[in-house]
Structure 1
Amino acid sequence: MALRPLGYLLIGLVWLAIWLIAVLLLVGSVPALAYGDSDSLVEGVGDRLSNPVEAVVFLVILVPIVAAAVGAGGWYVITASWPLAVLSFTYVVRALNPAYAGEKLSFTARGAWGSTIGPPTLSGVALSLQPVRATRFTDGVMRFYVAGWSFDGRMIVAMLPAGLAWATAIGALAPSVSEVLHVVFGALTVLLLGASWTLGVRAFRASASTAGAGNEDRVATMSAGQRAQRMKELKKQREDRLRNE
């Protein structure tokens, strides 16, 4: 069907656009805030820290919220979007391949209620664009797909330093601060990003290991038995089609 590759292409472009917007906002906001009105930014932070009550509110409430929103929020938006774009473009190629003619390319499953990101629904979040015919490549992409759509406390904690690094990176670039603070903020940014990288890799590996062990609370994906059964069905459909020809 001629519309099938076009449909997957459009879906892939939408998810690619979401990913690009998220990356541009996350990265581009740092120099925009640092150079846009750095004097007011630095003075505002200084004024809040000079007041004991505001300093407590700023450090205990606002900073963790920013770290969670930028770090964990950025991770989930980015990781939830690019696998769907890659899978969509994979199905475009498959839709143009005669070997996949007449067979379903993707399916939708529903994640266990409360186990996935997205708006709450009574029946769970619909997790679309999962591959019917799995390969080593799609299995690798699906690991990130699962990580991007699953609630994982370890990953949220792992991304908190990256959220703080976003704030220290602004301080490292802001022309209003001293050279000493530039160095201090720059070093903190590198250390915080390194901490998130290390913790994030550990959390991702632990999550992938748990999902591979068949934890039913994870995002719903096709099991090995279901894949084998599906491949048998596809093979039978292909044989019947060739026989009819």
Structure 2
Amino acid sequence: MTGTRAEAPEASTPAPPPPARWSLVLRPLGYLFVGLVWTGIWLVALLLLVGSVPYLAFVDSEALVAGVGERLSNPLEALGVVVIVLPVLALAIGSGGWYVLTASWPLAVLSFVYAGRALDRRYRGEKLSFTTRGARGSTFGPPTTTSVALSLQPVRSTAFTDRVMRFYAAGWSVDGRTVVAMLPAGLAWPCAIAALAPDVPDPVRAVSAVAVVVLLLASLVLGVRAFRRRLADPSAPDHDRPLTDLSAAERRDRLARVREQRRARLSRGDPSGT
């Protein structure tokens, strides 16, 4: 005896039961449909954010410019625009728009990945995705009275799905640094309208155009820093490496631990839960 206590071996998590036969037949179309729905949501959000700029700038822009000019001519209304309207726009258009876009496209990509896997015989005897529950108030979206379902997480992780899951977590877990980083992009939205509107004086249009570039670059730099800071979190679980060097049993046990880690961290609203 050396006096050291031997560690108990880790219990192996039993593999989940195989999907039902009807599920195997329908799930390729199901995942394809879900992917198309999330792609549509992403496209609608993008069109609303980007398409609203030329629409407001060129469709009845004279009335829009006149209305803004009247409000700015009144000191109290001008103060209200600066103190209330612009911050709300920055938060809704910048931070809100970023979260809608980032929360939707990873789900679309993962759905298409599962649709392809559903046609692959190697995945025939296993589930393709699973769902965890995020704590109330910890995820992006309207207020809820219960926990939020975080679906379409991969049962079998790969290097590609791990990368997508980083954006998945970034889009569904609210992070203060990211919210602040996207505020300049939200302010760029009214500046872009002013830069395009033909009824705005040329000096104002030129200044607005420069402001658009500066504000978008500021959000880009701050957003990249915020995202990298999230990935550099030392408490993040170590499962970014591919599992190709493991045996089948080791791979199954490792994947089970990864799923448990991801489920626990996402349920706490931890953005590094990928």
Partner of 2:235: 213
Identity of aligned residues (%): 63
- Asked whether 1:54 is paired with 2:77, we answer yes
Question: Which residue pairs with 2:58 in the alignment?
Answer: 35
Match of 2:261 in 1: none
From the CA coordinates, give the structure whose radius of gyration is larger: 2
Q: Is the 8 A contact 2:157 2:255 kept in 1?
A: no
Q: Distance in 2 between matches of 1:231 and 1:150?
A: 22
Give 1:82's aligned residue. 105
| 2:30 paired residue among 4, 7, 20 | 7
Q: Structure 2: which amino acid aligns with 1:83?
A: P
Q: How many residues align?
A: 223
Task: Give the Cα–Cα distance (whole angstroms) in 1 for the partners of residues 187 and 94 of structure 2.
Answer: 7
> Which of 154, 161, 166 is equivalent to 1:131?
154
Correspondence for 2:136: 113
User: How far 1:112 sits from its partner (Å)?
Assistant: 2.6
1:182 to 205, 220, 228: 205
2:169 equivalent in structure 1: 146
Residue deviations 1:143-174 (CA, integer Å, cap 9, x gap):
11000001111111111100000110000000
Contact kept, 8 Å, 2:178 with 2:226, in 1: the verdict is: yes
TM-score (ref. length: structure 1):
0.86
Match of 2:124 in 1: 101
Q: Which residue of 2 aligns with 1:221?
A: none
Q: CA deviation at 1:40?
A: 1.1
SS at match of 2:136: coil
Q: 1:231 to 1:145 in 2, by over 3 A?
A: closer
Q: Work out whether residues 177 and 226 of structure 2, in 8 Å CA contact, stay in contact via their aligned partners in 1.
A: yes
More helix by percentage: 1
Per-residue deviation, residues 56-101 of structure 1 (Å, max 9, x unmatched): 1111001100110000110011000000000000001101011111
Give the gaps of 5 or more residues in structure 2: 1-23, 238-242, 244-249, 258-274
Residue type of the partner of 2:236? Answer: G
Measured on the aligned residues, the alpha-carbon RMSD in Å equals 2.0
Contact 1:133 1:227 in 2 (8 A): no
Find the aligned partners of 2:117 and 2:214 in 1 and give their Cα distance.
Answer: 43
Distance 1:227 1:207, change over 3 A: farther
Alpha-carbon spacing, 1:180–1:106, altered in 2? closer, same or farther (3 Å)? same
Runs of 4+ in 1 over 6 A off after TM superposition: none
| Contact 2:184-2:215 within 8 A present in 1 as well | yes
